[in-house]
Structures are given as structure tokens and as C-alpha cells.
Amino acid sequence: MDIFSNGDWLPLSFAALMGLSMLIYAVLDGYDLGVGILMKRATNDEKDRMIGSIGPFWDANETWLVLGAGLLLVAFPKAHSIILSNLYLPVAIMLIGLMLRGVAFDFRAKAKTGHKNAWNNTFFAGSLITAVAQGYMLGAYILGFDKSIAAIAFSLMVGGCVAAGYCLIGACWLIMKTEGALQHKAIGWARVSLWGTMLAIALISISTPLVSERIFDKWFSFPNIVLLAPIPLVTATLVIALEVLLRQLPKPDDRWCWVPFVSTIGIFVLCFHGLAYSFYPYIVPDQLKITEAASAPESLMIILMGALVVLPVLISYTFLAYKIFHGKAKDLSYD
Amino acid sequence: MMELDPALLARIQFATNITFHILFPSITIALGWVLLFFKMRFNATKNEKWMEAYFFWTKIFALCFAMGVVSGITMSFQFGTNWPGFMETVGNIAGPLLAYEILTAFFLEATFLGIMLFGFSRVPAWMHNAATFLVAFGTTVSAFWILALNSWMQTPAGFEMRDGVAHATDWFQIVFNPSFPYRLTHMLLASGVTASFLVAGLSAYRWLRHDRTPAVMAALKTGVLTAAILIPLQIFTGDLHGLNTLQHQPQKVAAMEGLWETKNGAPLVLFALPNKETRQNDLAIEIPKLASLILTHEWDGELKGINAFENNHPPVAQVFWAFRVMVGTGLLMLAVSWSAVFFLWKRKDLVKPLAYAMVPMAFSGWVATVSGWYVTEIGRQPWLVTGVLKTADAISDTPAPIIGISLSMYLTVYAVLMTAFITTLFYMARKAGQVKKDPLTPASGQAVVEALD
């Protein structure tokens, strides 16, 4: 294969690794950000239980963002500076959001009892700010960092859409991890946010080819259109199946409580795949290609060797953590 | 309107972020090992007091850890948003070091922290011990990589420049660059001292509130004794680190000593106001020849002054003062920890004046650590990477007002978080005392606490 002979395989594998981290981040931190946003609609006891369901995981979930951004930084420094200097304020706002929710998580349980409500609200606000800021960045990225009013409006809309997607996966996480009244509520939340998510997918899918001629050609030329068709078709099938299933949940003995979560992951994966396909081979849309932005091969090589050794270990202890805390969530306790 | 310099704002923002960030790792790196120690003591003695101390300090560890994680995420974005020139010039070296930190440390500590905090009743005892160990180990590994990178920026080695970009030639030399062993040891000990003063100070606070259970006393003794042992080691390491700096970055030492002119038999300046206009020290109080003796081990040894490094030296006053704050705080900590050891072991109990001194000194490690970092980081200026890249050349073209907005957001959030953090620490200490006195009805214990506030 020619990508191996000309040395491009190294930057491309890094782009793949980075994409994979971003996808894992969107799924994992997506569910705990979603739970944070949904907390606004829960009673106090339910809030404790919802926090209990994400408590052991949120910290490691956020680390995938550090890895994704870190790989962009170390493997594609040129792209990192173009992207981040264009997204300067949304990044700063997202970081503030992440900071607020991360510490609110601890303070809500440890600060004075009378302050718990304020920290709950901080947790909600931080989660929402983070989700919207991430969606805003996605929108701005799709538009190639256009700074017009229309572009800002579009990015804000994508911000709302990403928040809806996170609510969906958060609600599906709760369906899997909780029971009783809270689970019933979560089913309702999932059905509402499924609509938001559908709208989000439709909006991004329609506007992306319209704003970029290159992506339009890529999608609608033959044979690409035939090869790409399964992505929207499978996504639509999953969405419909999810809607049908949500109407029937909870089933006796809580059968299938995990299915909505897994289907939502499927939807996320397909969307991500569509985006990645559209932008390839660019790392900054229409400006900079993956191979042009990469660091020196010897530096990439030493990171890749490390990653190949460490990633399997990392994935196995992540599985261990999920296995230890599997089953319905309990209230958090240190002993 | 006043014209704001974007480079200065970006530097203030970076300094703000990294200063806030380092406060928390400087606690957690060592506190992780303290927790493991409590756990091991319990395993060996089966005395419940160790487990009680463990659970109390685990909660504080979790809080510090969360503060460290969220402020650390900010750091990882700063390079791209404010200092693109850094990664464009030395990314081939900084990149792998940062990547290894994320891969080998961040995930390890974050994942096992979940098991350590919430898995006590879900996993076998050996696995909980292992999780506690891996969290402590992960924080230390993280320090290893980030200090390798920082030391490389101070004393770069193992690379060559091709077309203005640094390329790695020898990874062993890059990681184990000349200042790395000293800086890593100095920082790990700094963390040990910071954490042990926090443990001692918060325990002294509980002692003052007549909460003197065996668990509190065990934590108090652990903190005090650790500090008393580590501070002399820290002074020794700091001295070695200073000699290493003299060899590789003599202009930094000249600024630390406030030495404007090269001199044989340079004095040790105890107090002075370095004046960059007249290039001399105002109101100086000096001990003749002592600086030469400490640094060259000869009474009349030659020390290079600022005049030997024209246009290539850091601002003198900031480095000079930061160094004195660090040393002064360190000596005060030495005196307090040794007195506390004396009272706790010879007189079998603390005395009130000492306990009152120890409460604010719970945070003395922060003062010493941060001022030490200011010495080394301001002392590296005008270079970002010594001899390779100047700070001014790495700046992004983000306009000053935008940096102003982000900087004021960070400052506001940090002020709120710092207030919340410190008040919560003391609140947790008070609550721990209350709950214990009324173990059967925690709800009423909570009511008492609310009434107390």
C-alpha cells in the first residue's frame, strides 16, 4: 500500500488515534455531562443517586479529552495552534465549565450542608456550559472558523444540539444504572432528548455539504454516495428502534435496560464516522492536511511505541473499573 | 485607554493558571503516599485509628485531586491558545514527554482513584491496597514527566536544531538532562513537606477544638515527624540544586544572590531592595564572603554577576525576593516542625501557642513551593527554552482584550474556588469532630454542625 511506502502512515495513525480518543471522550464524558444537565430536573435524593452513578468514572472520562487534545498538540502542533487560537474564547469558557462541575462534584458533598443547593446548581451550570461550548466548537470547526453572525448562530445551535445528544446518552446511562421512579424519569428524559439529537444530526448533515463544496462533491459523487448511504440509513434505523424501545421500557426484570445506552453509542459512532469521513484528509477544514501538520517522524514513533504498550493496559484497567462498579448505582460512600 | 501588552497578559495568565494548578499536585503527590502509609499501618497493627485517619484524609485527597485535575486540563490547552511558538519550535521534544505523562500517569491515577475512593466495600482488601498504591504511584510518575520537560526547558540536552525546529537525538539525555535529578528530588520533597504541614496544621486545628482522638493524634504525629525529617533533606537537596544551577544557569544564581557585579568573595545578601536603574542593592544587609563560600566552597571564590550576562539575564528583584521568601518559609517550617516534635515526644502533647502557629502554617508549603517555582521560572527569563527559544517569540497573535477577558474569568473562578477550598477544609475538620461525638445519629450531628455555623 502506498501510504506505508511514503511514510504518511504515521501521521494518519495519529489522526486515527486522536479521533478515537475524541469519540471515546464524547461517549464517556458525554454521559456524565448529560447526567449533570439532567440533574436540574431531579429531586434531592435522585440527585445523590445520579451523582453516585457517575462518581467513580467522571475523572477518568475527562482524561480522554486531555488525551485527544494532547495528541492534537503533540502530533499536529500547527493544527493545534490554528484550531485553538481560532476557538480561544469557547475553549476558555469550556474550561471554566469543566472546572466548575469538577469541583462542584466534590464540594456538593463536602461543603456546608446549607451550600449544597448552590453547588448542585454549579454542577448543572458547569455541565451545560461545557456541553454547549463543545458543540459551539464543533460548529465553528465545520464552518472552517468563519466569524460571521450567521456562523456564530449556527455554532450556537450546534452547541444546543450537542447538549441534547449528551442528555440522551446521560438519560440512557441512568436507565441502565438506576431503578424505580428515577428510571421512569430517565426514560422520559431520553425520549425528549432523542428528538433533540435527531434534529442535531439532521441539521449538521444538511448544513455540512452546503457550506463546503469539497464535502458536497465528496458525498454526492458516484460511487461514494452508494458507499456512504448505509451511515444515514443505519443511524435512522437505530433512532427509530430506540424510540420504539423507550416506549416499552422498563421491561419486567429490567431486561434490556442496557440496550438504549448501547444504541446511543452506536448513533454517536456513526455520526463521528460521518464527520471524520467528510473532513479527511484535512485536519483544519480546507486549510491544512493531516500529513502537512505532523511533528517529526522520530518523535511520533516514540509516542506510538509508548501508546501501543500502554493503551491495552489502560483499556483493561478501565474495564476493571466498570466491572467493579457494574450494576445499579448506590449512593457514594468512602467506606 | 491604556495600551495592554498581549505578551505580558499571556504571561500573567499562564502564571496564574500554573500557580493555581501546582498548589494541588504539590499536596496530592505526597498525600497519596501518606494515605498508603495510614493503610499499611492499619494492616500491620489492626488499630482502627489508622483507618479513621485514612478515611478523613481520603476525602481531602479527593477534593485536592479534583482541583488539580480541573486546573490541569486548563494547562493542556494553554500551549495552543497562548504559546503556539513553543510547540512549533520544541514540539518534537515536549510532545512525547507530555504524551507519556498522559498515557502512563493520568489514566492510571484517574481510574484507580475511583476504585480507591468508592470501591472499599466492593473489592478485596489487597485490591484496595493496590489501588491506593497505584494512585500514589501515578501522581509521582506524572511529576516525573512534567519535571523532565520543565528541566529540559531549563537545561536542554540531547537534541539538534534543523531549520529552526528542535529534533530529538538522544531521549535518555533529554529526560535525564543536567538539572532533572535535582529538580525532581527538590519538587518531590517539596510536595512531602507541603502535604505533611497540611496534615499537621489541620490536625492542630482539630486539637485546638479539643478533638484529640487517637486518629487525630496519629495524623498530627505523622505530619509533624515527616516534616521534621524532610525539611533538612530539602535544605541539603536545595543546596545541591543551587550548585547545579550555578553551573548551567549562572545568571539565575546572580539574580538570586542580588549580585550585580562579578566578584571574588561575594557577600550573602540577607536583605536588600535590588534597583535595576542604578544596578545596585539599596538598603543592603550583607554577610561578607558567605555567598562565595556556599556556592564555590572557597572564601574568595569568584561569582559571576549580572554584568557578565548583558541582555541575557532575568529581572533581579523578583528572583531575589522569591528566593528569600522560599528560604525564609523553609526555615520557619523547620523551627515549627522540630518544636512540635519536641513537645509531642518529650512532653507528650502539643502546646497552644505552637498549635495556633501550625494552623495558618498548614499552607506554608504552598508559599515555599510557589516562591521556589517563581525563582526557577522567572530566573529562566528571557528564555522559554534556555538558548533555544525566547518567551517573546512564542506568543500567539491573540489580541490583548481577548486575553484580558479570559484572564479575568480565570481570576474570578480561582478566587471563588480558593475560598471554597479553604473554608471546606476547615469545615470538614470541624464536622469530623462532631460526627464522632455522636456516632449513632449522624442526622442530629449534622443539625449540630448547622447550628454551629
pLDDT of B50 higher than 70: yes
Question: pLDDT for A198-228, tens place per residue?
Answer: 888 888 888 888 877 778 887 888 777 877 8
Cell of A279: 473532513
B382 cis-preceded (ω within 30 degrees of 0): yes
Mean pLDDT of B195-199: 95
* A96 CA: distance to closest CA in chain B (Å): 7
C-alpha span between B77 and B99 (Å, rounded): 14
Question: pLDDT for A277-296, tens place per residue?
Answer: 888 778 887 778 887 777 77
Confidence of residue B436 (pLDDT cuts 50, 70, 90): low
Would the CB atoms of A302 and B96 count as touching at under 8 Å?
A: yes
Q: In this structure, are strands A288-289 and B159-162 parallel, antiparallel, or unpaired?
A: unpaired
Query: How much of chain B exceeds pLDDT 70, in percent?
Result: 95
Cα dihedral B47, B48, B54, B59 in deg (nearest 10): 180
Q: Residues in chain B, how many?
A: 453
Those residues whose C-beta lies under 8 Å from the C-beta of residue A41, and which sit 6 or more positions away, are A185, A189
CB atoms near residue B244 (< 10 Å): 20
CA contacts within 13 A on the Cβ side of B318: 14
Cell of B25: 499536585
Under 8 Å between Cβ of B245 and B365: no
pLDDT value of residue B209? 87
pLDDT of B453 higher than 70: no
Cell of B182: 535535582
pLDDT of B332 higher than 90: yes
Q: Which residues of A touch B92 (CB under 8 A)?
A: 295-296, 298-299
pLDDT of B445 higher than 60: no
Question: pLDDT for B217-255, tens place per residue?
Answer: 899 999 999 999 999 999 999 888 888 888 888 888 888
pLDDT value of residue A5? 56
Q: Which residues of A touch B117 (CB under 8 A)?
A: 55-56, 334
Least confident of A4-18, A102-116, B169-183, B200-214: A4-18
Query: How much of chain A exceeds pLDDT 90, in percent?
Result: 13
> How is residue B383 annotated by DSSP?
E
Would the CB atoms of A111 and B81 count as touching at under 8 Å?
A: no
pLDDT value of residue A301? 85
Q: Could you give the 3-state DSSP secondary structure of residue B284?
A: strand
Question: Chain B, 156-185: which have a CB under 8 Å from a chain A CB?
Answer: 165, 167-168, 171
Question: pLDDT for A299-318, tens place per residue?
Answer: 888 888 888 888 888 888 88
The identity of residue B312, as a single letter, is N
Q: Which residues of B touch A292 (CB under 8 A)?
A: none
Confidence of residue B435 (pLDDT cuts 50, 70, 90): low
A223 cis-preceded (ω within 30 degrees of 0): yes
Mutate to test the interface with B, among A10, A78, A88 (most CBs of B within 10 A): A88
Cell of A137: 466548537
Question: pLDDT for A82-93, tens place per residue?
Answer: 888 888 889 889
Give the DSSP letter string of B164-222.
TEEEES-HHHHHT-TTHHHHHHHHHHHHHHHHHHHHHHHHHHHHHTT---HHHHHHHHH
Instruction: Indicate the average pLDDT of chain A.
Output: 84
pLDDT value of residue A260? 86
pLDDT value of residue A87? 87
Confidence of residue B3 (pLDDT cuts 50, 70, 90): low
Instruction: Indicate the average pLDDT of chain B.
Output: 86
The identity of residue B408, as a single letter, is S
Q: Which residues of B touch A85 (CB under 8 A)?
A: 80-81, 84, 396-398
Mean pLDDT of A243-272: 85
pLDDT value of residue B215? 87
Question: pLDDT for B82-132, tens place per residue?
Answer: 888 888 888 888 888 988 888 888 888 888 888 888 888 888 888 888 989
Mean pLDDT of B353-382: 91
Question: pLDDT for B152-164, tens place per residue?
Answer: 999 999 888 888 8
Q: Which residues of B touch A90 (CB under 8 A)?
A: none
Under 8 Å between Cβ of A98 and A52: no
ipTM of the assembly?
0.83
Cell of A83: 484550531
pLDDT of A330 higher than 80: no
Would the CB atoms of B115 and A324 count as touching at under 8 Å?
A: yes
Cα angle at A14 between A12 and A16, to 5 degrees?
Answer: 70
Would the CB atoms of B115 and A84 count as touching at under 8 Å?
A: no
A281 cis-preceded (ω within 30 degrees of 0): yes
pLDDT value of residue B452? 40
Q: Which residues pair with B159 in a beta bridge?
A: B168
pTM assigned to the model: 0.86
Q: Which is nearest to B289 in space by CA: B272, B271, B279, B302?
A: B302
Instruction: Write out the H or E segment, with its range, that includes residue B275.
Output: strand B268-275
pLDDT of B175 higher than 70: yes
Confidence of residue A4 (pLDDT cuts 50, 70, 90): low
CB atoms near residue B124 (< 10 Å): 9
pLDDT value of residue B64? 92
Closest CA in chain B for residue A295: B92
pLDDT of B444 higher than 70: no
